[in-house]
Structure 1
Amino acid sequence: MKSYHLDPGRGLAGLTVQEHAEPEPGRGQVVVRVRANALGFRDLMVLADNYPLPIRPGVVPGCEGVGEVVAVGEGVGRVKPGDRVAATVFPYWLDGPFRRDNAAQLGTMIDGMLTEYAVLSENGVVPIPEHLSYEEAAAFPLAAVTAWNALAGGGAPRPGETVLTLGSGAVSLFVLRFAKLAGARVIVTTSSAAKAARLRELGADEVIDYRENPEWSDRVRDLTGGVGADRVVDATGPLEQSLKSVAPSGEVAFVGYWLSGAEGAKAIDPGILFGAGAVLRRVATGSRAHFLELNRAVTTHRLRPVIDRVFPFEKVPDAFGYVESGGGFGKVIISHD
């Protein structure tokens, strides 16, 4: 079998392909024949060694992958050979709060999914909804689980509430879809008329061009009768504008764009934080429990992701280059078929 391996900090120059014998599962483990992966901005941060979690030299990168169980170890009872499964980004975070002892992440601290066969804990996989192809299912483990946690982790939005989500990246696209399923009114920020049109096709009630409206919180206030949004999902920043956009007693789900040194990642005036009168909640993807909740909703509503482009497994470097170029709309997928 073939696997990609990473020398962190060297970018694409540090990405190599190595040959290995097909693995065998240990106790409590399963072997998954990987059928599809997804890539995103997070993976570029890992390549650059600009990520908040430690990156083990030589690690198999990629935290998003799905496939078919081909072998199970002793004591495995959750899955069986032939099952279609998705890997959880944090395989030891089963439920409850995010803590240091469950922070081991695929593709950074432990081997990830850019490989033909992956050995995973049986607790680190969840079933794939039957209506999804492998390529579609690969879009969910990171961005969709993050979006689900951002919306539902503090209590699901109620019909008629206003949700503001920032940008047209994969997390925001899933926030838009999930919030509309809950009956919320959704406002989205974006940078172009073309993306605004796509967002409206997906159900956005209002779209704000942040290039034309740099102080876009004023526009959010205008659209909400001066009250502000009940929920804000901040995946791009600036956080100050999110705090100025949220309604009193509302919530800002902070996904953590600032970790990459993104534009707008600056210190926040404590007066703005206090004046927002809202909860600021950190979101670090999500647990196995979040993923299972998400899958129930996806199955019930037969939801499908927005996919931008699909690359073959042997063209992973090209896929990284495409992600780095920006401007896409939806998930970038790696197919093994």
Structure 2
Amino acid sequence: MKNKMKAWRLHDFGMNNFSMDIISVPVPNFNEVLIKVSAVSLNYRDKAILEGNYSADILKNGPLTLVSDAVGVIVAIGSGVRRFKEGDRVLTHLHSNWLDDPRKPDEADFMFGGPLQGALAEFMVANENGLVMSPAYLTDEEACTLPIAALTAWYALNSIGQLKRGNTVLIQGTGGVALFAVQIAKAMGVEATVITSQNTKGEKTLQLGAKHYINYTSEPNWDEKVLALTHNEGVDEVLEVAGGDLNKSIMATKTSGLITLIGFLEHPEISFNMFPVIIKQINLQGISTGHRKAFEEMIDFFNVHRINPVIDSVHTFENSPNAFRRLEEGAFGKIVIKVNPLKQ
């Protein structure tokens, strides 16, 4: 195997400081494996890091290889490795040190793609604890979409929400987390309503298993429509991905229901009237993907229900910046970069 590889690294914030560099292939140490990266997928987090909207000091240790979500094959192992062997196809887990509850306060220090080096490279090194086996039925392009988007949806609906057949969920938008939530909800027997700004996207969510969709552009009082669809009770859970004003989400949630705070597409700060939250005894829960145990449980679920991720587009490794531009445009499904490793 060559001792040099290509990696897309961020030297300073902004697309102009994002470049494909030739660097040394990393060497796995104790409990680490070397992965030949097959494909990666982008998340809003990657865009926020690139633009400097995630963490001001994330580049304090020098250039950062971006992207957390990847699938690849283990090509070398360090000493002490017990969970995997050479030839295993594995997925990265964003919170590489978060194995199960309770979550420790320093979990954010062990995230791939910042502050740890990421996966947008021909090879990457990872601690074996930050990896899970990839579902065999999925292609590389499909499998690499699971670590953040699918796990976030699963953790919100199952681990935290503990929804059961016959429950209801309101899913905001048609991003990666939202579409996985629709598919997972269908497999769980949970009735999903999606809000979106485009009827064409809404119709596609019905094909994926949503029960209803609401165009919030033509129906700005979408919370009233949600109440009408739920016999004036509200949904058991809202997957809140926009941030900003939560008042409509609160009104659409049933008494003692749950709002899972997942994203900040609209604004990282939220505002709401506390009175209905108190009266309805609504629970607000922040979600930052999930732990490894939940990831493995989700993969078992996917293997049973044969859920296939929705892919918006696949880009070449050399044209990685185009994938980030597509993310900016607003995709329907996941954006994938097919990595072309060096010959071993």
TM-score above 0.5: yes
Cα pair 2:92 2:147 within 8 Å, conserved:
yes
Matched, 1:336 2:343: no
Cα pair 2:246 2:271 within 8 Å, conserved:
no
Q: 1:54 to 1:292 in 2, by over 3 A?
A: farther
Q: 1:273 to 1:7 in 2, by over 3 A?
A: farther
Q: Which ranges of structure 1 fall in alignment gaps of 5 or more residues?
A: none
Q: Which ranges of structure 2 fall in alignment gaps of 5 or more residues?
A: none
Q: Aligned letter for 2:19?
A: T
Matched, 1:243 2:250: yes
Q: In the aligned structure 2, how far is the partner of 1:266 from the partner of 1:24?
A: 43
Q: 1:52 to 1:293 in 2, by over 3 A?
A: farther
Which residue in 2 is equivalent to 1:30?
33
Matched, 1:271 2:278: no
Give the TM-score normalised by structure 2: 0.93
Q: In the aligned structure 1, how far is the partner of 2:53 from the partner of 2:284?
A: 24
Offset at residue 215 of structure 1 (A): 2.0
Q: In the aligned structure 1, how far is the partner of 2:325 from the partner of 2:102?
A: 35
**Residues 39-63 of structure 1: CA deviation (Å, up to 9, x unaligned):** 1322111111111585124111101
Of 195, 203, 210, the residue aligned with 1:204 is 210
Q: In the aligned structure 1, how far is the partner of 2:235 from the partner of 2:57?
A: 35
Q: In the aligned structure 2, how far is the partner of 1:8 from the partner of 1:304?
A: 36
Q: Aligned letter for 2:90?
A: V
Of 60, 63, 66, the residue aligned with 2:68 is 63
Which residue in 2 is equivalent to 1:167?
173
Which residue in 2 is equivalent to 1:292?
296
Q: Aligned letter for 1:39?
A: L
Question: SS of the residue aligned with 2:275?
Answer: helix
Q: Aligned letter for 2:295?
A: F
Q: 1:295 to 1:26 in 2, by over 3 A?
A: same
Q: In the aligned structure 2, how far is the partner of 1:53 from the partner of 1:208?
A: 37
**Residues 151-205 of structure 1: CA deviation (Å, up to 9, x unaligned):** 1122421111111111111101011111111111111101111101101111111
Which residue in 2 is equivalent to 1:252?
259
Which residue in 1 is equivalent to 2:227?
221
Matched, 1:85 2:83: no
CA RMSD of aligned residues (A): 1.5
The worse-fitting range, judged by mean Cα deviation, of 176-185 and 272-281 is: 272-281
Which residue in 2 is equivalent to 1:73?
78
Offset at residue 273 of structure 1 (A): 2.5
Q: In the aligned structure 2, how far is the partner of 1:12 from the partner of 1:24?
A: 29
Question: SS of the residue aligned with 1:20?
Answer: strand
After superposing on structure 2, the runs of 4+ consecutive aligned residues of structure 1 that deviate more than 3 Å are none
Q: 1:54 to 1:218 in 2, by over 3 A?
A: farther
Q: In the aligned structure 2, how far is the partner of 1:127 from the partner of 1:53?
A: 33
Give the TM-score normalised by structure 1: 0.95
Matched, 1:178 2:176: no
Question: SS of the residue aligned with 1:329?
Answer: coil
Offset at residue 333 of structure 1 (A): 0.3
Q: 1:276 to 1:169 in 2, by over 3 A?
A: farther
Q: In the aligned structure 2, how far is the partner of 1:155 from the partner of 1:283?
A: 11
Matched, 1:106 2:112: yes
Question: SS of the residue aligned with 1:273?
Answer: helix
**Residues 254-308 of structure 1: CA deviation (Å, up to 9, x unaligned):** 11316x636xx54222213223322111101111111111100011111110001
Offset at residue 8 of structure 1 (A): 4.0
Q: Aligned letter for 2:49?
A: V
Alignment length (residue pairs):
332
Which residue in 1 is equivalent to 2:287?
283
Question: SS of the residue aligned with 2:160?
Answer: coil
Q: In the aligned structure 2, how far is the partner of 1:118 from the partner of 1:152?
A: 31
Matched, 1:41 2:48: no
Which residue in 1 is equivalent to 2:147?
141
Cα pair 1:8 1:46 within 8 Å, conserved:
no
Cα pair 2:121 2:339 within 8 Å, conserved:
no
